Amino acid sequence: MNILLTGSAGFIGSYVSRCLLDRGDTVVGLDNINSYYDINLKYGRLRTLGVNREAIDWYKFVQSDTFANFRFIRMNLEDRQAMKMLFANGHFDVVVNLGAQAGVRYSIENPYAYVESNVDGFLNILEGCRHSGIFSLAAPKSHKHKHKSALHETRSTAHSLESDLHILFKTYIQICLHIHYIHEPH
Ligand SMILES: NC(=O)c1ccc[n+]([C@@H]2O[C@H](COP(=O)([O-])OP(=O)(O)OC[C@H]3O[C@@H](n4cnc5c(N)ncnc54)[C@H](O)[C@@H]3O)[C@@H](O)[C@H]2O)c1
C-alpha cells in the first residue's frame, strides 16, 4: 500500500514507519521537525530510516538511502496549499496521522501550537482524504482516555486542570471533525 505517515520523526511515527517499511509498504513520511523537544532525537530517528539530516529541507522529498520504499518531506500539516498538493500528487491508499502537538502543560503555555497542528492540520488531513477518496485514516487518541472521562470528573490541582483541558480540547475538536466528515454527504 501507498501510505502517508505524518509525524514520522516522532516517537511513535518513526517506529510505525519502520514497521510499515519492513512489511513492504511504500511510505511518505512527513514531519515539520519542530523543537518542542530535542530535534537531535528526531533527526536521529530519521537517520535510522535512512534519511540524512543534511539532505532535509522544507518541501523537498528526500529518498531514503536504506529503504527504497521510503521518502521524507519536511512540511507543516497546517500548510493548506502544500497539503493539497501533496494529496493531489501522492495517490495514497492510507493515511496514518501521528503528526501532532503532544503534551499537556504545553497546551496552556502555547495553545496556538495545538490549534495549528491538531485542528488546522487535522482538517487538512481530513480534506485531503475526502478529495482523494481515501477512506482509511488512522489517528491516535490520548492514553488518558483509557483511565478516566474528562467530561465527568472535577479535580482541583493545576496539573489535573491542564490535563483536562488538553484532553477536552483534543477530543472535542477531533470528535466534531469526525462526526462532520462521517455524516456530511461528500
Ligand atoms: N507517546 C505516547 O505515549 C502517546 C500516547 C497516546 C497518544 N499519543 C499521541 O500519538 C501522537 C504521536 O505521539 P508521539 O509520542 O510520537 O509524539 P512526538 O511529539 O514524538 O511526535 C509527533 C511528531 O509530529 C511532528 N509535528 C508536530 N506538529 C506538526 C505539524 N504541525 N506538522 C508536521 N509535523 C508536526 C513533530 O515534529 C513530531 O516529530 C500524538 O497525537 C500523541 O498525542 C502518544
How do residues 146-185 score in pLDDT, each as one tens digit? 444 333 333 334 444 445 445 555 665 666 666 556 555 5
For residue 136, give the DSSP letter.
Answer: -
Structure confidence at residue 136 (pLDDT): 83
C-alpha cell at 26: 511504500
Region 7-29 average pLDDT: 97
Of the residues 12, 16, 76, which should be mutated to test ligand 1's pocket, given the most ligand atoms within 8 Å of the CB?
12
Ligand 1 atom index nearest CA of 144: 6
Report the distance separating Cα 9 and Cα 2, nearest Å.
18
Structure confidence at residue 146 (pLDDT): 45
Structure confidence at residue 166 (pLDDT): 55
Is ligand 1 within 6 A of the CB of residue 31?
yes
Structure confidence at residue 152 (pLDDT): 35
C-alpha cell at 74: 519536511
How many residues comprise the chain?
186
Q: How far is the CA of 165 from the centre of ligand 1 (A)?
A: 18
Of the residues 15, 32, 41, which should be mutated to test ligand 1's pocket, given the most ligand atoms within 8 Å of the CB?
32
Q: How far is the CA of 185 from the centre of ligand 1 (A)?
A: 30
Q: How far is the CA of 39 from the centre of ligand 1 (A)?
A: 13
Can you say how many angstroms the Cα of residue 152 is from the centroid of all Cα atoms in its chain? 28
2-6 vs 26-31, strand pairing mode: parallel
Q: What is the pLDDT of residues 83-136, one digit of tens each?
A: 999 999 999 999 999 999 988 788 888 889 988 998 899 999 999 999 999 888
Q: How far is the CA of 1 from the centre of ligand 1 (A)?
A: 23
Region 61-81 average pLDDT: 98
Q: What is the pLDDT of residues 45-57, one digit of tens each?
A: 999 999 999 999 9
The model's pTM: 0.84
* Residue of minimum CA distance from atom 31 in ligand 1: 117
Has residue 64 got a pLDDT over 80? yes
Phi, psi of 5 (to 5 degrees): -120, 115
Has residue 30 got a pLDDT over 50? yes
